[in-house]
Chains A and B, each alone.
Chain A
Amino acid sequence: MTLNRDFFTALVFLLFSVGMFAATYSLPEPMFGQLASWAWPRVILVPMGFLSVIMLVQSQKHGGPNASLKDMISWFRENQNPFICFALFFGFLLAMPVLGMLLGGLLFVFLTLNVLGGWTPRQVLLHAVITAVCVIGMWAIFSLMLGVVLPEGTILRVY
C-alpha cells in the first residue's frame, strides 16, 4: 500500500461522504409527496463516495506526490506566505466586532503588507501610506458615497 497524497485525500473524501450521508438521516421526512430534504444530498453523496473509492484505487495504481511528514513540512514552508495571510485575515474577522471595518482594515492591510514586503523603516513608511490611502479611501467610498453601513466596532461606536 502506498501512502501518497492522493490516498489521504481520497480517504478524507470517503469519510466525509459517509459522515454526511449519515447526517442526512437526521433530516426531516417529506410532506405531501414532495422531494425529501435528504434526497438531493444523497443523490450527490453516493457518487461522491463512489468516486472517492475510484480515487483511492487510482492512488495505489498510479502513485502520486509523497505524503511523508518531511514532505508535508516542506510544503507548509513553501506556502508560508499564504498561511500567514490566512491567519491575518482570520484575526481581522475575529476582531471585527471590536475594531470594526475601518480600524480592523487598517491593521490587517498594514500587517499583511509588512509581513509580505518587509520591515525596513522605508518599507514601513511606504506601507503605512498605501494602507491609509487604500483603506480609508475604500471605506469612505462605501460608507459615505454608497451609503453602506459598515461594521464600526465597539471602539469607534459613539452611542
Chain B
Amino acid sequence: MFENIALAAPELFTLSTMMLMMMGTMAGLLAGAIPGFTIAMAVVLVLPFTFTMTPVEGLATMVAVYVGGLSGGLMSGILTGIPGTPSSVATTFDGYPLARSGKPGLALGIGVWSSFLGGVFASIVLMLVAPQLALIGLEFQPVDYFALIIFALTVTASMAGDQMVKGLMAGLVGLLVATVGSDVVFGQPRFTFGIDAMEQGFAFLPVLVGIFAFGRLLGDVKTREKAHQPLGGDTKAVHIDYLGSMIEVLRRWGNVLRSATIGVFVGVLPAAGSTISNILAYDQAKKTSKEHDQFGKGAVDGIIAPETANNATAGGALIVMMALGLPGDIMTAIMLGALLIHDVIPSPSFIADEPQIAYSIFLAFFVANFMMLGLQSVTLRGFVLITRVKLYMLSAVILFYCALGMFALNNIAWDMWTLFIFGVVGFFMRALGFPVVPLVLGVVLGRIAESRLSQVFARSDDIGVFLSRPWSLFFLLLACFSILFPLYQKQLAKGDARATWARFYVPLLLIVMAYPVYLMPGSIRPVVAILMGLGGLGLAGLEIKRGLVPQTNK
C-alpha cells in the first residue's frame, strides 16, 4: 500500500492539482451551503471543467467537490435550520437549537470537526479496504456481476418504502432507457424509431442531470413566492469556535468512532447514502447517550453523529465504486461518469492495474478533508452572503449552464435534447410519486447488465448457473430479502405485535445466506457461514421460545 501511495503522491501534490482541489472544495462548500442545491448537482456542474485536465487533476477536483459538499450542508443546517443537503437533515435537530441558544460558533465548530474526523476515518478505511474488496471482486464472473446489479436495483427500489412497486418500475424504466440506441453485442440500432440522433442512445450524464438538476431546480421555483425566497433565509455572519469545539468533539471520541463506522457501512450498501447514514447515526447516538433528554435541544452528540456519519459514507460508497466498478448511489454514479470521461474504467483489477490513479483518488479524498477544515473558517462569511441570492436567479442561470455543460460533454446538440427530455420525464415521474434514484441507477447500470448477461449466454445457455455460482446465488437471495425489507420494516414498527414471519426475517436471512457463503472458496468464509447459520438458528430458537403467536400491544 505504502509504495502505491508513494507512487501517487508526486502526481497529486503538485501546485496546480492542489489549487484545483481548493477550488473544488470551495465549490462543494458553496453548493452544500445552499438549501435545495444538492451535492450531485455541484459535482455535475463542475464536471465539464475537468474535461481538459489530466485524469488525476480532474478526479481530485471532483473528489474535493464531493467532500466540500458533504460538509457545506452543515452551515445552512445549523444557521438557518434548513438542511443544505439531505445528508445534513439530522444536523439541524440539535445544530439549530444550539445556534439559537447563542452558541452558533460552537455548533459550527463541532460540525466542522466532526465532518473532518468522519472523512479522515473513511479515507483510511477506503485505502485499507478497497484493495481487499477488489481482490474478492476478482472472483466475480459475469453471472455474479449481473446478480449484483439486480441486487443493487432491488435495494434501491426497496428504499422507496410504500412505493416499492413504483420504485421497481422506475428502475425498469431506467434499464429500458439504456437499451435505446444500439445493442451491446452487435451494435445494431435498437428502438431508434427512424430518428438518426437516437442511434447514439441517451448518454447517462445528460439523463442524470436532466432528472436531478432540471427537475429539482424547477421544483424550487414552482410558485412565485417560492421563487422569490432567498436561498438560505436571513443569516448573520458568525465565527467558528475552533478550539472549544475541537475539545468537545475529542471528549466524545466514542460517538465519533461509532458514527464514522455507521457512515462507512451504510456507504458500502447500494443505494443507502448519507441521507440515511446521518439519521441512523443520530438515532444510535441518542439511544446510547447519557444525556439523551438533551437531544433536540442542542446536544453536542446530536451534531457530532450525523456530521461524522455523512462524511464517512462518502468513503464507503467510493470503496465499492473503486473496487467493483459499480456505483451504489447518485454521487458515485456521477463519479463513475467522470472516471469514464477520463478513460478510467473502475473494475476489480483497476486498483492493481492503475495504482497511481487509484491511490491518487484515495489520497485526494484524504487531503480534501483537510482543505475543507481550513476553508470553512476563511469562507464562512462569503457563504452566508451567497445564501441571500433568490432561488429563481440561481435556477435560470444553472439551467443554461446545464445545457452548456452537457453540450461540451461530447460536442453534440443531441445531449442537450436528452437533458430536456429527461428533465420533463423526471419532473413528471416525481409528480406522480415515482422515486427517481432507481431510474438513474437503471440507466447507469443498464448497459453493464446487458453486457454481463450476454457474456453469461456466450459461455452457456444454462440459466442454472445463476443458482450454482455462490456469489450469484448470494446476491439473488439478498435481492429477494431486500424486496421484503419494506414490509419487514413496517412490521418492526409494530413492536411485539408484529407478524410471525417478521419475527423470523433476520434468523431466516442469516440461515439462508449462510448457504452461498459456505460454498465460497477459502477456509474463512465456510467458518463465517457456519457462524451465520448457528446465529440464525439461535435467534429462531429465541423467537420460538417467546411464542409464535403475535402479542397485541396494550
0 or 1 for each of A65-87: is its CB under 8 Å from B? (1 = yes): 00000000001001101100110
B392 touches A116 (CB 8 A): yes
How many Å lie between the Cα of A33 and that of B461 in the bound state? 9
B186 touches A31 (CB 8 A): yes
Q: How far is the CB of B39 from chain A (nearest CB, A)?
A: 21
| 25 interchain pairs, CB-CB under 8 A | A5-B432, A20-B191, A23-B193, A27-B183, A34-B186, A34-B458, A37-B188, A37-B190, A40-B453, A41-B176, A41-B179, A48-B169, A48-B176, A105-B403, A109-B396, A113-B392, A116-B396, A117-B227, A117-B390, A134-B397, A138-B404, A146-B51, A146-B408, A147-B52, A148-B407
B218 touches A44 (CB 8 A): no
Q: Is A58 an interface residue (CB 8 A)?
A: yes
Shortest Cβ distance from B227 into A: residue = A116
Which among A31, A92, A116, A147 has the highest number of chain B CB atoms within 10 Å?
A116
From B191, B423, B450, A89 is in contact (CB under 8 Å) with: B423
Total B residues in contact with A, Cβ cutoff 8 Å: 59
0 or 1 for each of A29-48: is its CB under 8 Å from B? (1 = yes): 01101110101110111011
Residues in A neighbouring B219, C-beta threshold 8 A: 82
Could you say which of B292-300, B301-309, B372-380, B410-418 contacts chain A? Answer: B410-418
Q: How far is the CB of A150 from chain B (nearest CB, A)?
A: 7
Chain B residues 400 to 457 lying within 8 A of chain A, measured CB to CB, are 400-401, 403-404, 407-408, 411, 413, 416-417, 420, 423-424, 427, 431-433, 449-450, 453-454, 457
Shortest Cβ distance from A45 into B: residue = B176
- Provided the pairs A55-B165, A81-B218, A116-B396 are in contact, do residues A151 and B413 lie with their beta carbons within 8 angstroms? yes
Residues in B neighbouring A13, C-beta threshold 8 A: 169
Residues in B neighbouring A81, C-beta threshold 8 A: 218, 221-224, 227
Shortest Cβ distance from A113 into B: residue = B396
Chain B residues 178 to 213 lying within 8 A of chain A, measured CB to CB, are 179, 183-186, 188, 190-191, 193
How many Å lie between the Cα of A89 and that of B186 in the bound state? 36
B454 touches A34 (CB 8 A): yes
Residues in A neighbouring B166, C-beta threshold 8 A: 55
Residues in B neighbouring A117, C-beta threshold 8 A: 227-228, 390, 392-393
From B188, B399, B404, B454, A139 is in contact (CB under 8 Å) with: B404
Q: Is B370 an interface residue (CB 8 A)?
A: no
- Provided the pairs A58-B165, A82-B218 are in contact, do residues A93 and B416 lie with their beta carbons within 8 angstroms? yes
From B169, B183, B413, B417, A37 is in contact (CB under 8 Å) with: B183
Which among B173, B190, B227, B427 has the highest number of chain A CB atoms within 10 Å?
B190
Q: Is the interface of B mostly helix, strand, loop or mixed?
A: helix
Q: Is B529 an interface residue (CB 8 A)?
A: no
How many Å lie between the Cα of A28 and that of B188 in the bound state? 8
A150 touches B169 (CB 8 A): no
Which among B168, B227, B404, B432 has the highest number of chain A CB atoms within 10 Å?
B404
Q: How far is the CB of B232 from chain A (nearest CB, A)?
A: 18
- Provided the pairs A23-B191, A113-B393, A135-B400 are in contact, do residues A86 and B172 lie with their beta carbons within 8 angstroms? no
How many Å lie between the Cα of A117 and that of B221 in the bound state? 10
Q: Is B48 an interface residue (CB 8 A)?
A: yes
Chain A residues 126 to 159 lying within 8 A of chain B, measured CB to CB, are 130, 134-135, 138-139, 141-142, 146-151
How many Å lie between the Cα of A27 and that of B257 in the bound state? 55
Q: Is B49 an interface residue (CB 8 A)?
A: yes
Q: How far is the CB of A125 from chain B (nearest CB, A)?
A: 14
